[in-house]
Amino acid sequence: MAEPGKTKFQVDLRRHLRENEVDDNLTHLICEIAEASKYIINSIRTGDLGVAGTSNLYGEQQLALDVLADRILRKRLDHSRVVANIMSEEMDEIIPISPDCEGKYSVAFDPLDGSSLVDVNLAVGTIVSISAGCDLLQAGRHQVAAMYILYGPRTTLVYSTGDGVHEFGMNNLMEYTLLREDIRIEPKGNLYSPGGQRNLYTPGVEAFVSSLEDRGVKLRYSGGFVPDINQVLLKGRGIFFYPHLNGSPKGKLRLLFELNPMAFLVEQAGGAASDGRTRILDLEPDHIHGRSPVFIGSKEDVALAEEYIRKLDGVEPSIVEKKSKKQASSS
Ligand code: AHG
Ligand code: MN
Ligand code: MN
């Protein structure tokens, strides 16, 4: 979609959004988040790696970087004039920015995912979910855009507004210029990224992993959700999962600002994202910080995981309850 005569590498983020006829306010919002990432890069490179002396509602010690990244994004969104409500991993509740919803957007974000990896110099990222209007507590299929910025050896930005997934790289002028358009994920992968503890895997997940290993699928896991997903996306195949574990049926990752945006991007690239039984984007959030298990990446690999879970882990009690209520009413 680059303009004739311009090589696609000269297409910067704002031009790409314009050429794809993305709504002006949404274009402005995505560009503001991209701008904010430049200050987050600076804080990662130079910032204090210590603790902020505070903790988020998970009781996790907030690193100075988590809080700093959160403040940088919050300020940008606050002054953008196109945002209605925001919430983040570092906030206890939704923060209203503007009372009118018309033409505005609401943003759920993880300002610095994998922040504990910074002090061992591994890649980290910012994850953003964008919905139209004021409602942030809705199923992920209502998102209008999603994006992440990956602070790795190179800084890259990946976004989708529902018309394919596109990757940008930060150049020496700190501009994001187009690297790849319409990224696609093949149905079957050759790498897997297994989160959580293997000794806590359920029989279904354990059998799924063994089937991958029997197929010679390689293990690639960095411990950072953004680089691990980016690897599946940019290699064009593979599966990431952070499953339900014995003792933690909801796994670890948060639906609103980690799973929904990544599920939006991966589905836009032709992949799939499930909690092991249900499509991630169809999950109705019951709490702004709700968690869910996740299996995300190549469609056939996600379907295989679901099959093992269905066969060996049975159906969730909640589904059984629903069935028995339904059976009771129909009998
Ligand atoms: P965050 O740093 O925002 O809390 O997220 C960390 C997440 C995610 O990056 C990754 O997939 C997962 O933690 C790794 O968890 P384990 O260390 O339990 O594997
Ligand atoms: Mn996170
Ligand atoms: Mn985080």
Q: In the prediction, which pLDDT does 51 show? A: 62
Q: Of 3.30.70.60, 3.40.190.80, 3.40.50.20, 3.30.70.1450, which CATH number belongs to 191-330?
A: 3.40.190.80
Q: In the prediction, which pLDDT does 5 show? A: 57
Q: If pLDDT is split at 50, 70 and 90, which confidence band does 49 have? A: low
Residue 321: pLDDT over 60: no
Residue 119: pLDDT over 60: yes
Task: Give start-end residues of each CATH 3.40.190.80 domain in the chain.
Answer: 191-330
Sheet with 143-151, side-by-side order of all strands:
95-96, 83-88, 105-113, 124-132, 143-151, 155-160, 166-170, 176-180
Q: Average pLDDT of 254-263? A: 98
- In terms of CATH architecture, what is 8-180? 2-Layer Sandwich (3.30)
Q: In the prediction, which pLDDT does 222 show? A: 98
CA 48 to centroid of chain Cα atoms = 26
Q: In the prediction, which pLDDT does 77 show? A: 98
Q: If pLDDT is split at 50, 70 and 90, which confidence band does 28 have? A: very high
Percent of all residues in the chain with a pLDDT value above 90, rounded to a whole number? 85
Q: How much is the pTM?
A: 0.91
Contact of 139 with 108, CB cutoff 8 Å: no
* Residues 314, 319, 325: CA angle, nearest 5 degrees: 130
Q: If pLDDT is split at 50, 70 and 90, which confidence band does 317 have? A: very low
Mutation to probe ligand 1, out of 60, 113, 220 (largest number of atoms < 8 A from CB): 113
Residue 78: pLDDT over 90: yes
Q: If pLDDT is split at 50, 70 and 90, which confidence band does 46 have? A: confident
Residue 147: pLDDT over 50: yes
Mean residue pLDDT of the chain comes to 91
Task: Give start-end residues of each CATH 3.30.540.10 domain in the chain.
Answer: 8-180
Q: What atom in ligand 1 is closest to the CA of residue 242?
A: 11
Q: If pLDDT is split at 50, 70 and 90, which confidence band does 322 have? A: very low
Going from the Cα of 137 to the center of ligand 1, the distance in angstroms, rounded, reads 22
Q: Average pLDDT of 169-188? A: 97
Tokens of 132: 């139209």
For 232-244, write each residue's pLDDT tens digit: 999 999 999 999 9
Total residues found in the chain within this entry: 331
Q: If pLDDT is split at 50, 70 and 90, which confidence band does 182 have? A: very high
Contact of 19 with 10, CB cutoff 8 Å: no
Going from the Cα of 62 to the center of ligand 2, the distance in angstroms, rounded, reads 12
Residue 252, ligand 1, Cβ within 6 A: yes
Q: In the prediction, which pLDDT does 10 show? A: 82
Task: Give nearest CA residue, ligand 1 atom 17.
Answer: 223
